A and B are shown apart, each in its own frame.
Chain A
Amino acid sequence: MDLHRVEPGVWSVIIDGQQLEVAVEKDGAEYVVTIRGRTQRVAVPDPRAWESSNGDRAAAGVAKVASPMPGKIVRILVGPGDRVEAGAGLLVVEAMKMQNELKSPLRGKIVMISAAEGAAVTAKQTLVVVEADAD
């Protein structure tokens, strides 16, 4: 296999006379691989990732709801202590002329809201914490 780096993040691969251009970009723990316009995300298991997911498991029953993208909070639909059903709208984030309602992943109680209407938020910033009802 002949790998030749043609530009930053881009490799030309020749194998048995077949040529393929592969672009690679790191995104957190994953690599985004693009070949002829098609993209796949590839990750390796990381021991530390295991630890953190075990940590999450210890706090099972608590869901952190984060904004999936940078944007602005236009509306908060719940208050601290409110009880919500799974799928209930918690708040509305607006980005690029589109409003997106973030929903509760579980049935439970709002234990924290770290957001204000009109505030700018970054991607993956935790906005609301919901504690599941004990069954």
Chain B
Amino acid sequence: MFGKVLVANRGEIAVRIIRALREMKIQSVAVYSEADRGSLHVRMADEACAIGPAPSSESYLRGDKILDAARKHNAEAIHPGYGFLSENAQFAAACEAAGIVFIGPPASAIARMGSKTSARQLAQAAGTPIPPGTEEPVADAVEAARTAAAIGYPVMLKAAAGGGGKGMRRVDDPQDLEAAFRDASSEAERAFKDGAVYIEKFITQPRHVEIQVLGDAYGHMICLGERECSLQRRHQKVIEEAPSPFVAQHEGLREKMGAAAVAAAKAAGYTNAGTVEFLVDANANFYFLEMNTRLQVEHPVTELISGLDLVHWQLRIAAGERLTIAQEEVSFRGWAMECRLYAEDPDNGYLPSPGEITALALPAGPGIRLDSGVYAGWRVPFEYDPLLIKLAAWASSRHAVIARLQRALEETRIGGIKHNVEFFLDILSDEAFQRGELHTGFLDEWQRRREVRRAAPSAIVEAVLKQAAVKPARRDTRVSHWKGGASWISTA
């Protein structure tokens, strides 16, 4: 096993990986940008190395600086987390060339799955169903229009190098295609330095269901069931759960999807942890979407129902150990669900809300798992993804896990910034959600029919506010005003 591993990431996922390293008695090296000197992942690491200015293009995306840091600190391996360099085949190859283990699949497998068009070809050759569309990126808006007309609207434009919803546009109407093509291509260019876009048929009200796979370097690969991630906004997942309420109701579907995922991953020469994403229609047809060649944000829900630690296994497999679990030994218990707590304003177009976390109360008790990258007094930087904390829960049934998450959210308090705790309380109490009637457009529809609950300031709130005003942390010239029994106005 490795003696020291560098974690090439930040935030909650860097903290998650450092925790696994500590459990395995492996020394950890954190890297940080100028904006992250005081970040939690740096505080938790054994060693730390500055890698440059705040913009990720000058720090967390600089493979050369990260390799320098690994050499300087004598790290034997690099865990890339998710995002940043995790699906960058050149970086994985540079690690291999430098004699430093990249904790993930071989660079060749990343390259094969990294281009969505080549991934589709691979999947198709392995017998995995794919949605109708182009296998090569389209050259320009004119070709895009011709192709879209041939496969029929609605269509989806997707960045060939993409992920995380960047460079994706749904187009319902031919007259919107040219603008959408331009937007998707320029967004892809900015995000991935590759503006190539391909076209796919849009499947109406699909579910997003993904299969976790885990394979060693000796040809043994297993699947660890599915996660349902249909609740998305702007193609970013918001709530994930395992198992999928849909797959759980369709006998044999899990096994079929699992076999298809393993076939596609094996065709790419895949090792380590990976995820094959599928769209599933109402008739339980499933279509290969893409493969994420890394640890997923939502991996905790799989860990909670399978009892396996994916990061431990990533490290063991990368160190050359055999995966000692047979497919028949994999079993699932209960239900797990995860809420991604973001620094954003869900009532205002999910506008990001960076700033200082002035107060933080987090839930605990039975069945709660927290993966947090923040602490009270820390300033959330504006340069990075707004994910603060993953709040996951486990319980014996879907019904019970929803109740447990509601309880946990009620215990949660994040002061100083806007966040989506209340948004989750509203979703979890929605009847359609509770019945498991999910699809990737669910959230947009729900936002339109959502009844915003506005508790009127009560006498209790008024009394507490008077106390707060007469015992301020610092002098406040308006204190006298509070004594007059003023009328309170709720402004939001």
Contacts and interface: CB of A to CB of B under 8 A. Distances in A.
Interface in A26-52: 26, 30-46
Contact of B492 (A22, A34, A41): A41
Contact of A69 (B351, B463, B490): B351
A9 B384 contact: no
Contact of B415 (A20, A32, A44): A32
B354 A22 contact: no
Contacts of B486: 44-45
Given A1-B463, A22-B464, A33 B351 contact: no
A9 B413 CA distance: 12
A13 B464 contact: yes
A96 B468 contact: no
Contacts of A5: 467, 471
A112 B338 CA distance: 46
Given A70-B355, A96-B384, A96-B386, A33 B413 contact: no
Nearest to A9: B359
B482 interface: yes
A4 to B, nearest CB: 10
A108 interface: no
B468 A31 contact: yes
Interface string A5-34: 100110101010000101111100011111
B478 interface: yes
A42 B486 CA distance: 12
B134 interface: no
A37 B384 CA distance: 25
Interface in B296-325: none
A45 B351 CA distance: 27
Interface string A68-102: 11111000000000000000000000011110100
A116 interface: no
A120 B116 CA distance: 35
Interface in B421-460: 421-422, 425, 453-455, 457, 459-460
Contacts of B282: none
A3 interface: yes
Contact of B421 (A13, A37, A42): A37
Give the size range of A's interface with the partner.
35 or more
Contacts of A11: 464, 467-468
A96 B343 contact: yes
Contacts of B415: 9, 23, 25, 32, 34
Contacts, number: 131
B328 interface: no
Given A68-B351, A96-B385, A42 B478 contact: no
B235 to A, nearest CB: 12
Contacts of A70: 354-355, 382
A40 B382 contact: no
B178 interface: no
Contact of A3 (B348, B422, B464): B464
Interface stretch (B68-76, B119-127, B404-412): B404-412
B465 interface: yes
Contacts of B464: 3, 11, 13, 22, 24, 33
- Interface of chain A, helix or strand or loop or mixed? strand
Nearest to B425: A37
Interface in B454-488: 454-455, 457, 459-461, 463-465, 467-468, 471-473, 478, 481-482, 486-488
B352 interface: yes
B351 A44 contact: no
Contacts of A71: 352, 354, 382
Which has the most chain B C-beta neighbours within 10 Å: A37, A39, A71?
Answer: A37
Contact of B382 (A1, A8, A43, A95): A95
B409 A37 contact: yes
A1 B421 CA distance: 29
B353 interface: yes
Nearest to A32: B415
A98 B457 CA distance: 34
A68 B349 CA distance: 12
Given A39-B422, A98-B352, A3 B463 contact: yes
Nearest to B478: A46
Contacts of B382: 69-72, 95-96
A95 B410 contact: no
Nearest to A29: B478
Contacts of A42: 457, 461, 465, 488-491
A11 B463 CA distance: 10
Nearest to B414: A34
B383 interface: yes
Interface in B341-374: 343-344, 348-355, 358-359, 361
Interface string B359-402: 10100000000000000000000111110000000000000000
Contacts of B422: 37-39
A68 to B, nearest CB: 6
Given A24-B468, A30-B491, A44-B486, A35 B409 contact: no
Given A33-B464, A69-B353, 7 more contacts: A11-B464, A35-B455, A38-B425, A38-B455, A40-B492, A43-B488, A71-B382
Interface of B: 343-344, 348-355, 358-359, 361, 382-386, 409-413, 415-416, 421-422, 425, 453-455, 457, 459-461, 463-465, 467-468, 471-473, 478, 481-482, 486-492
29 contacts: A1-B459, A3-B467, A5-B471, A8-B359, A8-B473, A9-B359, A13-B460, A13-B464, A23-B361, A24-B465, A25-B358, A25-B359, A30-B491, A37-B409, A40-B490, A40-B492, A41-B491, A69-B353, A69-B354, A70-B354, A70-B382, A95-B354, A95-B382, A96-B384, A96-B386, A97-B385, A98-B352, A100-B351, A123-B355
